[in-house]
Chains A and B, each alone.
Chain A
Amino acid sequence: MTDFEPILIAFVCNWCTYTAADLAGTSRLRVPKNVRLIRVMCTGMVDPQYILKALLHGADGVLVSGCHPGDCHYLNGNFKARRRIKLLQEILPCFGIESERLRLTWIGASDGIRFAEVLHELVARLREIGPNRAAAVTAVY
């Protein structure tokens, strides 16, 4: 388990969390190498199917991160995203996929430090949970 390097897919919104990621980079903050960022215009456009695809195709965790409530560039995309995350957090455990593998956070554009913290925390948590076996299992069934 000590060798386990979780793969984390992060859907980040263009206006807040992606900018925070950029800031973390230009600030030379260390972020875990486990994360693959996918920039989207808004967390409200992350259809549950993309999250499911990631979790069933080898991701150990998925992070969806956007603007704080009230800060959404499109007014309320982040609130809509929260309902979709809630929905998936209900569905995933029915099939033996821990709901903790999917997280939603609000990280503002100036939160480069917080962005790095969240990734470290989430990767640490995924190490505790262990590998997601969904991809290996669904490949042979």
Chain B
Amino acid sequence: MGVTARLEMGQGDRTAAVRGFLRRLLDSQAVGAVLVAQPLPRKRLRMPTLVTDPERLEGADPFSPCFAVNGARLAARLSRKPMGVRWAAVMRPCEVRAFIEMVKLKQAGTDEAVLISFDCPGAYPTREFLRTGGAETAGDTERFLRQAFSGEAPDPGLSPACRACEHPVPPFTDVHIGLLGGEAGTFLQIEGRTAAGEALIAAAALPPAEPLPSREAALGALIARRAAARDELFARTEAAVATIEGAAAYFADCLLCTNCRVACPVCTCRECVFATDVFEHDPFHVLRLAERGGLLKLPSDTLFFHLTRLAHMSTACVGCGQCSNACPQGIAVMEVFRTVARRTQQAFGYEAGRSLEDPPPLAVFREEEFTEAVGIPAAPAGGGGPGRTPGSEGGRG
């Protein structure tokens, strides 16, 4: 399944070429709206915009190194109920992967939304982008793409999440725009991976093309570089939090502002338990806690907050890094979440954002599985087994 088409590049500017493609989608009425990031008057950040007028695509700048918000959250809201038209969402691979998790958690729908992803060059930390002013024009974005894909000065200034991201291409998407290899070529490779994606390519009347060999090679090198950075990140982070002291020290500056939870695209609870008084202890209880060691740091429960979040969403974590962007204290939140998420996802043979078919691990079960999790291990002779003694079947008839 799938078609590969070519998108001509005018003056070697990939952003301009893709704007043309999006314009054709609106002009041909293949879609009634496009969700795409662009700079806004008096704002330096590129924010997602919902564009219905083809003329207003002039500023679309989806490949800039600004990743202010994970658009999956916004796309999920737009897709929860019918909009009345088919619409396209131009998103980074991590946004697409988060959107897929939202669909499976019944927080988003695929009836009208068509996902358009692209070879992701990565992005700067938001604070860094604001500090430097970032790319001001589309020409700057093209320069950034060339630098990011060159492989010579590997991933300069990219956020830690992007440097360690082995998914410059999402495993599942409707349309994928191949930006890599565009340096040399005169066209971009555009793939329609699903029926909805093929329909968009047909509507834009793009001619078919053979896959670009130069892109395949460049992509392989990019993924290898990022995977190496990822493994280094895992090793470093595992060591940092491997003891309870290390873990507590890692999050010691946490103020419990919960910005990381708000920024997280897959933290889906409408009312988070940390926004309720479930764990709001009575004052005398807090006093008792303080009396245990004579001192209690406040707010307490900071590590508890992060562990609870890991228990709730780590199987859906896509490692987009918005938690780190959101932290006012500069805690490297993403590193811990990605490291633990890899382990929890592996435990269930799951990979966030891989496909619409794999059910979320905590939504299903099998009768025969994880038997090692049941019973008391290393019990003295005679006590072993999975916690079952003769006659124990008699419980309820």
Contact = CB atoms under 8 A, between A and B. Distances in A.
Chain B, interface size category, equals 35 or more
A125 B378 contact: yes
B339 interface: yes
Contact of A108 (B238, B242, B303, B396): B396
A106 B292 contact: no
B293 A134 contact: no
A105 B389 contact: no
Contact of B374 (A48, A100, A104, A141): A104
A11 to B, nearest CB: 14
A103 to B, nearest CB: 6
Main secondary structure of the interface of A (DSSP, over half): helix
Contacts of B315: 87
B284 interface: no
A137 B241 CA distance: 13
A141 B365 contact: no
Given A82-B369, A121-B376, A108 B292 contact: no
Contact of B312 (A48, A56, A118): A48
Interface residues of A, number: 57
Interface of B: 238, 241-249, 251-252, 273, 279, 289-290, 292-293, 295-297, 300-304, 307-308, 310-312, 314-315, 339-340, 343-344, 347-348, 361-362, 365-367, 369-370, 373-380, 383, 386-389, 391-396
10 contacts: A49-B308, A82-B373, A83-B348, A90-B344, A91-B307, A95-B307, A100-B377, A133-B244, A139-B300, A141-B252
Interface of A: 15-16, 48-49, 52-53, 56-58, 67-69, 71, 76, 79-80, 82-91, 94-97, 100, 103-111, 113-114, 117-118, 121-122, 124-125, 133-141
